Structure 1
Amino acid sequence: MRTFRWSPQWTIAVVVVTAVAAAVTIPLSLPDEPDATVSGLPDHAVPPSILETVRLSSPHGLDGLTATLDGEPLRLRREGAALRPEVVALPEGVHVLVVTPPPGTFGESEQTEITFRVDATPPRLDIRPVEPVERGEAGEIRGTASGAVRVSAAGEETRPAADGSFTLPVRAGAGTVTVVAHDEAGNATTEDVAVTLRHPGMKAVHLTASAWASSALREPVLDLVREGRIDTVQLDIKDETGQIGYASQVPLAQEIGATTELYDARAALDLLHEEGVHVVGRLVAFRDPILGRASWESGDDQRVIQTTGGSPWSGGYGDYSFTNFADPEVREYNIALAEEAAQLGFDDILYDYVRRPDGDVSAMVIPGLTTTPEEAIASFLAESRTAVHRHGAFQGASVYGIAASRPEQIAQDIPAMSEHVDYVAPMVYPSHWGPGEYGVADPERRPYDITARSLADFQRIARENGRTRVIPWLQAFSLGVEYGPGEIRAQIEAAADNGIDSFLLWNAGCRYDPRALPPT
């Protein structure tokens, strides 16, 4: 008798010879299967935990089946009709698994050897700043995902190109979406990306809460709307006195007596929205004598900016005027008011006095400030933006005209602030510029020149991040020079010549000459 060593590639034939017949070949077909099977180990890079899914088996049974990993014995445990390795996290790099099955029917069985690579490094994800999206349109998230095999966000998925670049569609108003880059080993990198609506622009006038409450001031503004001269009304939420124009439900506002009932916010918003008006809520942030006085008298003096002598800073604005922009409670109070207003239906939250007091900062005590004042102001806007955008409103910041060239004077760093607002609203009133600013000898008498040149500077700075609009405050009041329709139109034209078709008109008395605003 001859002994054959069986291999799954062989077919054994037995030759039978008899005296009465020719030679006959009888095939014995044995199953064409390997001596050892390894499942759960794909033919691409794998994660360190891969042994959790690996299973070993053999047609010859499990008794006597052994394995080594990188030359070292691998401990195995029975699990049903297979063996599983004891779970151990593998280091990055190349590994060799050798499985030795028990002897087969015809003798020794062949080993199975598999080389595989463990990858524990997630892909690198770099996302470009996302352009704001026009309402009703689709936008795009673009970036690179080095080492990724797919990238997903907001229900969309794509495969990166060979260089790692990718593009994902995103809908308008998606808010913050999470982009995930996956590699073939199952590692993932995530990044939250804000997808904002592009501000539609505005032609607006300022109204105080008291002006809205007065039909003599409110109705002429509504006539401007109905005549197509403006499309937006700016209505005060909290003004320079710290007074809130409506019955706010924010607990601290009620506690310090800041609420009034000058107007019903929902009723006012309903009326304006029915007229097709965009409504901007102006929220004076850190000039707040009501909060300042209440904080000082309650012993919460950390909420107030102080002098080095230990008294509240006035800076010519009155006692307790400036609250502390670095204090968490002051910041939370203003953000709570902003979020409440956005929930009520204000389309924009436009911060004013979002700055430090003007004056010598070395003479001020700002409790809790651990960064520069400029950084603290920008970070406040970053915190607020999340709350405001959550309710579908835009966020803007009114800024001094001089902030374009002198950011440290009042802690308004325009590029830093622009990262966290949908628009900046520079107050480029001609009467507020000194002689010679931007090469204009007498700015107040040359409204076109000073407005055009200052806005050109703001446009240049805002373009640094490519997303933030410039919507200027323009002068609709007289100070040293009588300002009528011609002077107001000159400023509007100067803005338009800089590519800015939006504006906010300021008149503290809330009276506006329709001749300055041609219908559009």
Structure 2
Amino acid sequence: MDKKALALLFYWQNKGIDTIVIRIMTRFAIGIVIGAGIAGFLAGGMYFYFAKSDQGDFSFPFSIKNPLAASMKESTPEERAAEALARSRNIKGLYMTADVAMDPGVGASRLRENLIKLADETEINGLVIDVKEVCGPDYDEERLKKLIEELKTKNIWTIGRIVLSKDASQIDVHPEWYLTRKAGANSGANECARKAHIRAARPDGKKASVNFWRDRRGGYWMDPAHPEVHAYILEFSKRMIDMGFDELQFDYIRFPSDGDIENAIYPAYDGKTPKYAVMKEYFEFLNKNLKAHKPEIVLSADLFGYAAIRAGDVGIGQRVDDVGDNFDYISFMTYPSHYYNGLHLPEDPTRGLPALRYDAVQARTNPDIVVLRTLQVARDFLDGKISTSSFRYITTLSATTSTTTISAIIEQKSRSRARLRPWLEDFYHEADATAGRPSGAKKVRMQIDAAETVDNSGWLLWSAANVYTEDALKKE
């Protein structure tokens, strides 16, 4: 046996295996320390190299291939828009007032938390939050951002509600935007007297001495044809997009509908151009500029329920023909209690449904039928199954009913990509119950089921008090 073998044998016999392991581990640790030092030296050298670069270019002077990074490319605007639309499908939302959303008080906080709780525990997955109401912009930036962030962490779809034509906040600083009065005095109190804090002030503190026209409720109206009004709404809408809303919903997208309109003077509208043409131009302006600002922003519009079932613009510029191409969703206000003249519809030959002749009481007694038939007509029109919004069904070359001439168009073509997401009523329950009509959870559920039968693109519940009928909602 040579000397090396004898030495190793002697080592094993006298030191034992434990000692050897300890020595090996010690040398391994020393190796790690030395390796770390070398790595640190190299890293420092690289930093010195890049920091001293004249161009401040921190790209490596050699190629490093990362298959994972190469496969992850930034999505296109079109892809982001498509993804947002996919996420917006089947939103079931509740309306939240600006006061409930912004007020830190106990009462408002309790209501706000309850709405969020409903979204946590039921089928509700969206909230429509007032940020600009009939009196003007009404929000606290810090609180609104915090609320939106909270809702997003809970995967709740956020919709900012923006009132367009009705706005009292600029009467002192921009009186030239508003309708004025030819003669006579306004009836009724100022609708926005309690919201004086959101009224923009002039530097000199003076009030405008103008005889503004006001509607029956005492509300002020901006001229929807005024280009500066368009710019004002656009800039506000962009701010709301930047606040983080998933969707913007526009309400009062029309000319005034009540009050002594014959005494109103428009500063920009010429009185000759069809009102629907004015609104169409307005819609196109908003769509083009807001989608350019953020391609994935979803846009929706609120329309009277009657706009779905009447031809033309009903005298206020709201025409389904013009809305559908400029908004992703149309939210008809299909409140059964608001069909003051009833619901009159011709026969639906495609579905085999009879003509409908409801008066106002019958409309409230049959909330599901009102929602169903209204949305069916709207959907058929948008899908090109009706030649105009006056119910000319495309079924035969020539036919006549007692109220409508049916005129066929051979080629059916979809008019709009817009989906229907109606407003449903969650109010007037006591009056309905007293009259023996469907009320409470039954009434709300009847409307929901009807809405889901037609389009199944979601629905929204309206309660001005922000108190909702939880028993009508499915648990999740």
TM range (shorter): 0.5 to 0.7
User: Larger Rg: 1 or 2?
Assistant: 1
**Match runs of 1:122-201 below 5 Å:** 171-173=78-80, 197=85, 199-201=88-90
Scaled by the length of structure 1, the TM-score of the pair is 0.56
Distance 2:177 2:241 in 1: 25
Does residue 460 in structure 1 map to residue 410 in structure 2?
Answer: no
8 Å contact kept, 2:420–2:457: no
The one-letter code of the counterpart of 1:239 is: E
- In 1, distance between residues paired with 2:383 and 2:290? 23
Paired amino acid for 2:302: S
Letter of the 1:282 partner, please give it.
R
Following the alignment from structure 2 to structure 1, what is the Cα–Cα distance between the partners of residues 290 and 90? 18
- Alignment partner of 2:146 out of 267, 273, 285: 267
Task: Give how far 1:174 is off.
Answer: 6.0
User: 388, 411, 417: which is aligned to 2:317?
Assistant: 411
Aligned-residue offset at 1:388: 2.5
Equivalent residue for 1:245?
A: 139
User: Could you tell me how far apart the structure 1 residues matched to 2:223 and 2:280 are?
Assistant: 14
Match of 2:281 in 1: 379
The whole-number CA distance in structure 2 between the counterparts of 1:197 and 1:206 is: 20
Letter in 2 for 1:430: P
| Cα distance between partner residues in 1 of 2:261 and 2:377 | 26
Amino acid at match of 1:493: D
Q: Deviations over 1:233-279 (max 9, x none)?
A: 111111122142224xxxxxxxxxxxxxxx61211111000000110
Q: Give 1:504's aligned residue.
A: 460
3-state SS of 1:512 partner: coil
Corresponding residue for residue 302 of structure 1: 176
Deviation track 1:28-68 (CA, whole Å, cap 9, x = no partner) reads xxxxxxxxxxxxxxxxxxxxxxxxxxxxxxxxxxxxxxxxx
Quote the residue 1:397 is aligned against: 301
CA gap 1:241/1:301 in 2 versus in 1, 3 angstroms: closer
Query: 1:203 corresponds to which residue?
Result: 92
Deviations 1:71-119 (A, max 9, x none): xxxxxxxxxxxxxxxxxxxxxxxxxxxxxxxxxxxxxxxxxxxxxxxxx
Q: Which has the higher contact order (CA 8 A, sep 6+)?
A: 2
Deviation at 1:504, TM superposition (A): 0.7
Aligned equivalents of 1:325, 1:476: Cα separation in 2: 31
For residues 311-350 of structure 1, what are the structure 2 equivalents within 5 Å?
A: 311-318=211-218, 321-350=220-249
Q: Report if the CA contact (8 A) 2:419-2:455 is conserved.
A: no
- Report deviation, 1:361: 5.5
- What percentage of aligned pairs have identical amino acids? 23
Q: Is the 8 A contact 2:334 2:424 kept in 1?
A: yes
1:501 positional shift: 4.0
- Once the two structures are overlaid, the 10-residue window that deviates more, 206-215 or 395-404, is 206-215
CA deviation profile, 1:6-32 (whole Å, cap 9, x unmatched): xxxxxxxxxxxxxxxxxxxxxxxxxxx
Distance 2:100 2:300 in 1: 22
The one-letter code of the counterpart of 1:440 is: Y
Query: Which residue of 2 is the match for residue 235 of structure 1?
Result: 129
Offset of residue 363 of structure 1: 4.1
Conservation of the 8 A alpha-carbon contact between 1:302 and 1:324: no
Cα separation, partners in 2 of 1:477 and 1:375, compared to 1, 3 Å: same
The answer as to whether partners of 2:89 and 2:457 remain within 8 angstroms in 1 is no
Work out the number of aligned pairs and report it.
313
Q: Given the alignment of the two structures, is residue 282 of structure 1 paired with residue 156 of structure 2, yes or no? A: no
Question: Is 1:315–1:357's contact at 8 Å kept on the other side of the alignment?
Answer: yes
Q: Distance in 1 between matches of 2:78 and 2:168?
A: 43
Letter in 1 for 2:318: Q
Alpha-carbon offset, residue 365 of structure 1: 2.2
Q: Any conservation in 2 of the 1:403–1:409 contact (CA below 8 Å)?
A: no
The 2-side partners of 1:372 and 1:514 are apart by 44
CA contact (8 A) 1:388 1:394 kept: no
**Structure 2: gaps (5+ residues):** 1-75, 184-209, 345-356, 385-414, 434-438
3-state SS in 2 of match to 1:172: helix
Q: CA offset at residue 215 of structure 1?
A: 1.8
Distance 1:396 1:496 in 2: 18
Residue 137 of structure 1 aligns with which residue?
none
Assess if the C-alpha contact under 8 Å between 1:238 and 1:283 holds in 2: yes
> Per residue, is there more strand in 1 or in 2?
1
TM-score between the two structures when normalised by the length of structure 2:
0.61
User: Alpha-carbon deviation of 1:435?
Assistant: 4.8
- After superposition, the Cα gap between the structure-2 partners of 1:500 and 1:313, relative to the gap in structure 1 and judged at 3 Å, is farther
SS at match of 1:346: coil
* Amino acid in the other structure paired with 2:373: R
How big is the alpha-carbon RMSD for the aligned residues of Structure 1 and Structure 2? 2.5
1:408 aligned counterpart, secondary structure:
coil
**8 Å CA contact 2:125, 2:157 repeated in 1:** yes
CA distance in 1, matches of 2:288, 2:90: 21
Instruction: Classify 1:501/1:197 alpha carbon distance in 2 versus 1 (closer, same or farther; 3 Å).
Output: closer
In structure 2, the partner of 1:354 is 253
Structure 1: state its 5+ residue gaps. Answer: 1-168, 176-194, 248-262
- How much does 1:349 deviate? 0.5
